[in-house]
Structure 1
Amino acid sequence: MREIEIVAVPAGRVRVLPDDASPSPREQGGVGHLVLDVDRYDLPWEDHTGRLRQLCERGGWRLATRYLTVFCDAVVLPVWGYTYGELALRAGTRSGCFADPWDSEQAGLAYLLRNELAAACGGSYPGDDHAHARLRGEVETYDLWSRGQVVGYIAERWEPCPTGTSCTHTRCSGGDWTEIKSCWGVYGISEAITCGRTTLAEARAPR
């Protein structure tokens, strides 16, 4: 399997590889519901009401948002899509590339029911700010997965050849890389590099 990236760090190196076997995070469940519709893309439509498709046909995302807010006691965020080579998604404010007038548009909604979030938090509703953060996080996680940004990493340390400079081994390069730890199902290349760096630093630290 070919690496996406190999990063040298003080205690060794981190190899980042694609994780093609990672299931969709929507299969693992979540408090939020994603209701997304962009031409040519197979996206989640998690409508617990069964009415949102009809409402969108009548009044667009705005009418669906109003229905969820008024009749379902839901917290709702718009989800923006940016299509330039691939589809990227973001929930909440429309800014950066998601405000592009040609290549971006509203891709749908992310919502959660206040009673569902309260149940997930032990019976007490933590507030709308927490709900907004939860929805942004669920959309970000799905976006990373859909764009192939779920990866694995292998943290390796250089082990010099024990015979040193007098080595006569065939094609010996003075040592070899030894795996310290590998991990899969990491969301985001930068997160994988950070985790690998931490792993190597902890392995080097005295106990």
Structure 2
Amino acid sequence: MRITYGIILLLVSFTVVLGQDPQIPQLKKRVTDLTGTLTEVQLATLEEKLSAFDRSTSTQIVVLILPTLGGESIEDFSLRVAETNRIGRKGKDNGVLLLVALEEKQIRIEVGYGLEGVLPDALAGNIIRNGIALNFSKGDFYAGIDAGISAIMLATRDEYNTDSRDNRFLAFLTALLVFGFILFLLMFSVFGRRRRYGGSRFHAPTLGGTMTWGDG
């Protein structure tokens, strides 16, 4: 009888383990560096900056630096991280995840639905290109992340400004994304399928808030 109970307990434990996803880190702080890229002082500085912003605005910005995505797309991975860790205030959906994958040299800004009006994908791409990736290409990861955080803060306050050249690019990219979205809906209506993210509080993956840096 004890053997039987032991086997049942083992099977239950094994099932629980299988139900967990070890790839998704549990974020205990606002800045999580799993690569050792940032120094302790840099981590503390960014942590305090984000904490103060959270206290004054209730907007939660979280940074995650990974060694690798393990073969998964950064769009899917960032969405799972944001949903698993419930970034953003309940009822406001005002969370932002800045995800950096070193091996793939990819950057992603995942935005909660509550902030999509002030931080659309096109603007997220602009922030990555002009602030984060530019510094990453020079090897200065702290400056890139700090610049990205500052720009995201301005955007969520609706204070982020771009020059006329960037405005033209954003207008073109926005129109392109809208056209692509309409085409996407038409295609799925023809085939009778549509991808859904049940209960998701974040954007479905798009390319606007994703970018690479360097030669990779």
After TM superposition, the score normalised by the length of structure 2 is: 0.25
Larger radius of gyration: 1
Higher relative contact order (CA 8 A, sep 6+): 1
Greater helix proportion? 2
With the length of structure 1 as denominator, give the TM-score of the two structures.
0.26
